[in-house]
Amino acid sequence: MRQDAVIQAGTLITKILSLPRATKKFMFLGADTVLVLIALYAAASLRYGTYNPLFLFEFSWHLFPVMAIVGPAVICFFGLPRIQLHAIESDAIVRVAVTAVVLSMSAICASYLLGLAGPRSVPLIFGIVFFMGSVSLRLFGLRALRYLGGREAKRLPVIIYGAGAAGIQLASALRQSAETRPILFVDDNANLQGVMIAGLQVFPASELRTLIMKRQAKRVLLAIPSLSTGRRTQLIAELSNLLVEVQVLPSFIDLMEGRGLETSLRPVSPDDLLGRNMVALNTPEIAKTYAGRVVMVTGAGGSIGSELCRQLVNCRPARIVLFEQNEFSLYAIEGDIECLAARFGIPVVARLGSVTNRARVKKVVTEEAVDIILHAAAYKHVPMVEKNEIEGAANNVIGTHIVADVARELDVERFILVSTDKAVRPTNIMGATKRIAERVVQELQTRGGRTRFAMVRFGNVLGSSGSVLPLFQKQIAAGGPVTVTHPDVTRFFMTIPEAARLVLLAGAYAEGGDVFVLDMGKPQKIIDLARRMIAMSGRNVQDPVTGYGDIAIEITGLRPGEKLYEELLVGNTLCATPHPKILRAEEPPLSQIEVASLLRDIRKAITLDDPVMLRKIIELQVDGYHLPERATLSA
């Protein structure tokens, strides 16, 4: 019934908004004329302190027909019917105020000319009541239209950085927008902080990160056109670290010279950079698999883990368990999905802990009666893991074995490992540790039992932490250069929603020991991606010969362990799944003895804190990996 009422209200609003302008003007004129008479009656009631001012009707009733004739003429003269609802601002309010003053003076003149009895304060009160009523009527109408049309819920909440003249004008413009809704100001000026400006409260800029999470803002608009180029570049770099879109109002000089649209930063959507259509991964199997189950996500605060949590809410699980070792990340994702989950009555449980702590993992899985584990916890940044091999192996290999073994021991229904295309014939420690993690999970499946184990291999995930998208955005915001390691380096790309959806589908399609990959089309050159991002940001790529252009592209050379291209398959055997874009790879597992020996050797290298030993073990066990020169020389 409620949904039908909403639809009917939306239809009514559409009909009203589509009326001819002349009809709307006539409606406003009629409303204001009626308001003149109501205000006159209310003024008399207020003056005499009664709802039935008989004195006015006995001796001054002539004032009503006079004002019924004069009122519309004055209202039309000052153009009140021409004021559009969404344009209620200072000029419109001043026009209403002037109309109220003229109406009040007209009532006074009519009283004198007609010799009407009664206090002369009644016309003065009448003007005040008319002004308040006319403004309130329009504001109420605007609010009603937005509410009944569902506009407020659809508008994107934005924060305006800068509460000066430009920020105030921007807030006024955004209020008329159907897409965005200003919710507050932030400003560095201590004199403005804590006050209300243009109906919005001003907060310190230092609280911006907290405000974004608390108010669920989706965009920050930098509205300080008078900033120097250096300060603006610095501020943009700082704002680019926030998990929201950042847009910048052009400077006054840019606006005067007509360069506003070209030089203002525009957010780059990961969808625009894919070079292909997004893969539709909405299938009924997903909701069926997770509905009514207790689902635990390890690494819940990461890029993939947090998106998994958001998408799980739509699957109506019995409970979502967030497992994360980073306190702030856990706090952020809990706050992000708690309200959404509460709408559907889904409890959200946040648990701090490391996947390398077996006792903690087992305690959480047992206490929460977990049915499905989505294992997204991993150290994934190639250069960082390359310099911290021991920690990378401890987290990616030992941590995966611990969580998977606990799942098998406690008869968890499903265990899904989030892997990477860098695990296929890896040349770096990160990829090698993820490949070993895959072999560990495959071997556990061979032991039998209730748990179904599966793995998902991703390409590069656009927009995730450490990916090229936020890096390039930051470099473009700083004025360049954009750094690319090699002109021929290529990667497979997917979006965060695609990656998370693929994990959920893997859980639905898992038969045991599966490796799922997504058909992501052809790999793309990173340098082409950089060129597209520069162009989409309103800039030009700098010509290395002539120097013409805004942003230079700099070739820095391949980093240690980096490959020119990535692969998705170890072998060539592929099987179909119910989804045409998802494939299942058939890869033979290691034996239980081989995996036990491999884990024993890795644990020994971790205990001894010996990265050279670890690299030698990996070289012997992982196809494609070779010791770097520095490790060979130090052996």
The pLDDT, as a whole number, for residue 234 is 65
Q: Pairing between strand 490-491 and 574-576? A: unpaired
Which pLDDT band, with edges at 50, 70 and 90, does 471 fall under? confident
In this predicted structure, the answer to whether residue 279 has a pLDDT above a threshold of 60 is no
pLDDT by residue (tens digit) across 474-494? 888 788 888 888 888 877 777
Q: Mean pLDDT throughout 117-125?
A: 69
Tens digit of pLDDT for each residue in 11-47? 554 555 555 666 767 777 877 788 887 877 777 777 7
pLDDT at 622 over 70: yes
User: CB neighbours of 345 closer than 8 A, spacing ≥ 6?
Assistant: none
Q: What is the mean pLDDT of residues 519-530?
A: 76
- The CATH superfamily label for domain 284-621 reads NAD(P)-binding Rossmann-like Domain (3.40.50.720)
pLDDT classification of 548: cutoffs 50, 70, 90: confident
> What would the pLDDT profile of 168-208 be if each residue is shown by its tens digit?
878 877 776 667 788 899 998 888 888 888 778 899 988 88
pLDDT of residue 364: 96
Token reading at 29: 């004129």
Q: Give residue 257's pLDDT.
A: 45
**What is the per-residue pLDDT across 423-441, written as a single tens digit (0 to 9) for each?**
788 888 998 999 999 999 9
pTM above the 0.85 mark?
A: no
Distance CA(201)–CA(171), nearest Å, equals 12
Average pLDDT over residues 595-608: 94
pLDDT of 295 above 90:
yes
Tens digit of each residue's pLDDT (9 = 90 or more) over 552-566: 888 888 777 666 665
User: Are 391 and 381 within 8 A, CB to CB?
Assistant: no
What's the pLDDT score for residue 366? 96
Q: 436 with 602: CB under 8 angstroms?
A: yes
Whether the CB-CB separation of 262 and 271 falls below 8 Å is answered with: no
User: Residue ranges per domain, the chain?
Assistant: 2-148, 155-267, 284-621
pLDDT score of 9 = 47
List the single range of 91-95, 529-533, 570-574 with lowest mean pLDDT: 570-574
Give the per-residue pLDDT at 60: 61
For 147, the token pair is 């509410």
CA 32 to each of CA 25, 48, 587: distance values in angstroms, whole numbers, following the listed order: 11, 24, 78
pLDDT reading at 297 higher than 50: yes
Average of per-residue pLDDT across 536-555: 76
Strand 553-555 to 493-495 pairing: unpaired
**Distance in angstroms (rounded) separating the CA atoms of residues 263 and 541:** 13
What per-residue confidence (pLDDT) applies to 402?
96
pLDDT tens column, 307-335: 889 889 888 999 999 999 999 999 999 98
What six digits make up the tokens of 89? 């601002």
User: In this model, does residue 372 exceed pLDDT 50?
Assistant: yes
Superfamily name and number for 155-267: NAD(P)-binding Rossmann-like Domain (3.40.50.720)
Q: What is the pLDDT of residue 396?
A: 95
- From residue 54, alpha-carbon distances to 59, 68, 127, 130, 594 in Å are 9, 19, 21, 21, 102
CA atoms of 191 and 200, how far apart (whole Å): 15
DSSP string across 398-412: IHHHHHHHHHHHTT-
Is residue 298's pLDDT more than 50?
yes
pLDDT of residue 550: 75
Rounded mean pLDDT, 358-369: 96
Residue whose tokens read 């004199």: 191
pLDDT of residue 258: 44
Q: What is the mean pLDDT of residues 258-279?
A: 50
Separation of alpha carbons 501 and 557, rounded Å: 34
Q: Residue 50's pLDDT band (boundaries 50, 70, 90)?
A: low
> What's the confidence (pLDDT) of residue 593?
92
How far is the CA of 537 from the CAs of 49, 460, 475, in angstroms?
64, 21, 11
109-145 residues labelled b (16+ CB within 10 A) or e (exposed): ebbeeeebebbeebbbbbbbbbbebbbebbeeebeee
The mean pLDDT of the chain is 78
Confidence check: pLDDT of 303 > 80: yes
Give the β-pairing of 514-518 and 452-458: parallel
Measuring CA to CA, which residue among 290, 309, 289, 285 is closest to residue 299? 309
Is the pLDDT at 214 greater than 90, yes or no?
Answer: no
pLDDT at 272 over 50: yes
Place of tokens 């890029």: 303
- Rounded mean pLDDT of 536-545? 71
